[in-house]
Amino acid sequence: MSFLLLIVCFNYSAQAQDEEKQKSWKIKGYIKEMPYFSYNKPYDQALYNNLVHNRLNFKWSPSEKISGAAEFRTRLFWGDVVTTTPDLPAQMRNQNERVNASITWFETDNAAMITNVERFWLEYKTSKWAFRAGRQRINWGIATTWNPNDLFNAYNFLDFDYEERPGSDALKAQYFINELSNIDIAVSPSFSKAATVGAMKYFFNTRSYDIQLNAGWYHNQFTVGGGWAGSIDEVGFKGEMQYFFSTTTKPQFNGVAEWDYMFSQGWYANASFLYNSTGLDEPVADWTTVNFQLSPRNLMPTAYNLLGSVRKEITPLISASLGVVYCPGTNISIVLPTFSYNVSDRWDLSFIWQSFYAELNGSFQPITYSGFLRAKWSF
């Protein structure tokens, strides 16, 4: 099957060379091959899996004012993840999408192939206005890892194989006040009023800081928030805050502050702090009660979250990084090392590791280990 997908990509790449001669059409994409394993408590056996991940991105620009895009994500899973996950196609769906635009080509006891329409939008743009309708990415986040302001399509930072990030079925209007300020209004409707998201954002720059303010409705709750991005001397300083009012559940506040710095010799460091007012703040007895299905309200299941990461360009072709998340109170820790090698302009090779640790019943212990080896060919 991997060979067949490679043939498809080569054919599309050849077609792309012809299409690019016509300025109105562009195509790009990639294919990834990623074997991986996980070793979970009680450590009686490892789970082995393989993923072939293909993405095709089409862009249409017939004029300066009109543009459109269609992007498709196809994943072929086989191994223990299919066997142990009930209704895998439903689990793989992006919950921000109101319309189910996925196709399950087949599903057996140990294999499944799923295609999802990731983007499908049309835009009309002038010097002052931009209107976009369809499945799109509405990126209101400023910080790197956790984005309380990202009301429409929150990103799970643990899903490293999804660099495009999720989208939403939405209508968006943008008014450009000047080069440094604009207003966004977006609505992601739903058949259920309780699932509708609608909000407005005002973005501007003052004293070398980018500032944004937002207000709207998230799942039948009024919400307000804001964010900033600037620097203190040579240290980058970003942050976001979001407050959710509620008459039926407990109100919630999410806040994040982030600092980053680029050192000499290719070193980069980042530190973040996230507070979730409704998150867990004490050790748990059962790991399965910790919900890592992240959403705009649940950026982390824990109340207090610290993240530190470093990245080093060892050579122009080789880089390595290490991220560590620690959650005081619950005493949960996540270790995330990555090693990457740029084989050529089109080929990349990466090794990613994820380790989870937690205090359970008074004992700090490992929960799960996962290792991923990923080869990526872009076209």
pLDDT digits (tens, 9 = 90+) for 320-346: 999 999 999 999 999 999 999 999 999
Place of tokens 């209704």: 87
Query: For the chain, how many residues are written?
Result: 379
Residue 297 vs residues 32, 46, 60, 157, 248: alpha-carbon distances, Å: 31, 33, 35, 15, 15
pLDDT tier at 63, thresholds 50, 70, 90: very high
Alpha-carbon distance 165 to 144, whole Å? 13
Proportion of the chain above pLDDT 90, given as a percent: 79
Which pLDDT score is estimated for 5? 44
Lookup: tokens for 90: 């439903």
The secondary element (H helix, E strand) that includes residue 19 is: helix 2-19
Which pLDDT score is estimated for 42? 82
Give the mean model confidence (pLDDT) for residues 57-70. Answer: 97
Q: Number of C-alpha atoms within 13 angstroms, CB side, residue 329?
A: 14
pLDDT tier at 11, thresholds 50, 70, 90: low
Which pLDDT score is estimated for 15? 54
Nearest by Cα to 306 from 368, 366, 259: 259
Question: Taking the domain 25-378, which CATH number applies?
Answer: 2.40.160.100
Which pLDDT score is estimated for 179? 93
Which pLDDT score is estimated for 360? 93
| Residue type (1 letter), 297 | R
Residue 1 has pLDDT above 80, yes or no: no
Alpha-carbon distance 270 to 321, whole Å? 11
pLDDT tier at 21, thresholds 50, 70, 90: very low
Of 143-147, 166-170, 238-242, 243-247, least confident by mean pLDDT is 243-247
Alpha-carbon distance 47 to 368, whole Å? 11
Give the mean model confidence (pLDDT) for residues 138-154. Answer: 95
Of 1-15, 270-284, 326-340, least confident by mean pLDDT is 1-15
Alpha-carbon distance 92 to 360, whole Å? 29
Which pLDDT score is estimated for 307? 98
Cβ-contact 55, 164 below 8 angstroms: yes
- Cα-Cα-Cα-Cα dihedral of 209, 215, 217, 218, to 10°? 20
Strands 304-313 and 46-60: unpaired
Alpha-carbon distance 190 to 96, whole Å? 10
Which pLDDT score is estimated for 146? 97
Cβ-contact 336, 354 below 8 angstroms: yes
Domains in the chain: boundaries: 25-378
The secondary element (H helix, E strand) that includes residue 83 is: helix 80-84
What is the per-residue pLDDT across 189-219, written as a single tens digit (0 to 9) for each? 987 777 899 999 999 999 999 999 999 999 9
Tell me the pLDDT of the chain averaged across its residues. 92
Place of tokens 């360009």: 313
